[in-house]
Structure 1
Amino acid sequence: MELHRTEVLTSQTGALIPVTYVGVLPHEDSVRDVVLGLKYHGKRGNAAQLAGIVNQVLPLLGGQYSVLTWAPTTSAHQVKRGMDHAELIARHVAASNGIRAVKLLRRVSAISQTGASRNIRLMGPEFVSKPLRRHRNVLVIDDVVTTGATFRAAAQALVNAGASSVACIAPSRTM
């Protein structure tokens, strides 16, 4: 397991909220092929394989998650691909772990991270979250972590919405 970063984000009320970011395996060889097969070739069965990678490290984080969500893709990509690949991975992880999967995040910027320059990726997308009841420990899933900007934006939106802790996990990492 590769732990990218643990940090504390500040909520709108001034509370300090712990956030953990994890990218499990290098985005190389068979892992890369599985991600690309899901994302660009409609191989939906690959979502279960990627969820399996996440499931292997989830117990190491030691968290008790009350809800699981995902970093949503752009609307244009969802229409083009006929799915949100991160949602498919997330729903497999949720089902395997008895955690409720809920679409909490909405992407408010349409800028795609795919193929963008590092500077654009570092700016990251913008998200808003549905309001959360107090004391919500949230698990966020995505397919690949590159700069961490997507996860950080998702985590900040969840913290602003009332999350009491956030863990972000991707089965693959480019860093």
Structure 2
Amino acid sequence: MESGLRLNPRGSIWKIIDWFYPPNCVACGCDGYAICPKCIDSALPIIDSFCNICGKPVDDLQDCSLCKKSNFQFTYARAAFLYDGAIRTAIKKLKYAHQLGLSELFANFLISVYLRERWEVDLVTAVPLYKKRFASRGFNQSEWIAKPFAKAIGKPFSSGAIQKTIHTTPQVGLNQNERKNNLRNAFSAEPVIVRNKKVLIIDDVMTTGSTFNECASALLKAGASEIYCLSVASTTL
């Protein structure tokens, strides 16, 4: 990894919190780690045999069933890990148990993917939550990952680049067509912020790519030039 682009696994504020309240691994419970080295080593990184467009693991690099059924508006999407095991547990702990310290660790994972892909972007944003969902949860987990990521790569972060303007039902349990229809026209982007910019969108999990795609569509309509997508994890096809 290039010098100056690595986050500390636990930033200064989290080190202070860890001193008073030592962490336990979210996966196995051992002392001293948010995710212990053994559980990280058991995770499944997506580094070989993935689709060049959507980043999903595939057996045939020339034949991605997801891309065949989709009209993706983003240039490329990538994920650091498969959504399984310790990574799946950790994402749920961040999202539903407010273990916010995991966000910097996830940002670290995404930096490695970003550097590997050698992308060049102008602006970083995160998949937004609808205002009522944000109020009930109290935070946007994707934004917590995106902010330290953007700082580490030296690019501006904007929470106002894209907004979710329509309340939608949760995507869990919906198939690809249902996810696409559920999110149709649910996002809007701010032209003043994104016009002529290469924008990187960050989320926690990519399933069918519908969320990234609808965000990308809104950004392109607002004048963004290219859209790149990064998620901590991705499901299999």
TM-score by length of 1: 0.86
Asked whether the equivalents of residues 106 and 145 of structure 2 are also in contact (C-alpha less than 8 Å), the reply is yes
Deviations 1:116-156 (A, max 9, x none): 42243233522110004643111100000001000000111
Distance 1:28 1:161, change over 3 A: same
Identity %: 24
CA distance in structure 2 between the aligned counterparts of 1:39 and 1:133, rounded to whole angstroms: 27
| Match of residue 5 from structure 1 | 53
Tell me the secondary structure at the aligned position of residue 138 of structure 1.
Answer: strand
1:63 paired to 2:111 = no
Work out which structure has the larger RCO, using CA pairs closer than 8 Å and 6 or more positions apart in sequence.
Answer: 1
Structure 1 residues 99 and 145, CA, compared in 2 at 3 Å: closer, same or farther?
A: same
Q: Which runs of 5+ in 1 are unaligned?
A: 11-16
How many equivalent residue pairs? 168
1:135-150 → structure 2 map (5 Å cutoff): 135-150=196-211
Structure 2 residue identity aligned to 1:115: V
Shift in CA distance, 105/133, structure 1 to aligned 2, threshold 3 Å: closer
Which of the pair is proportionally richer in strand? 1
Deviations 1:52-79 (A, max 9, x none): 1111110122222111001112323211
- Using the size of structure 2 for normalisation, the TM-score is 0.65
Between 125-134 and 44-53, report the one with greater CA deviation: 125-134
**Structure 1 residues 45-84: aligned runs within 5 Å:** 45-84=101-140
Please identify the structure whose Cα radius of gyration is greater. Answer: 2
The one of 134, 150, 154 equivalent to 2:215 is 154
Q: How much is the aligned-residue C-alpha RMSD, in angstroms? A: 2.2
Does the 8 Å contact 1:71/1:151 carry over to 2?
yes
The structural deviation recorded for 1:113 is 3.3
Q: Secondary structure in 1 aligned to 2:53? A: strand
Structure 2 gaps, min length 5: 1-46, 55-66
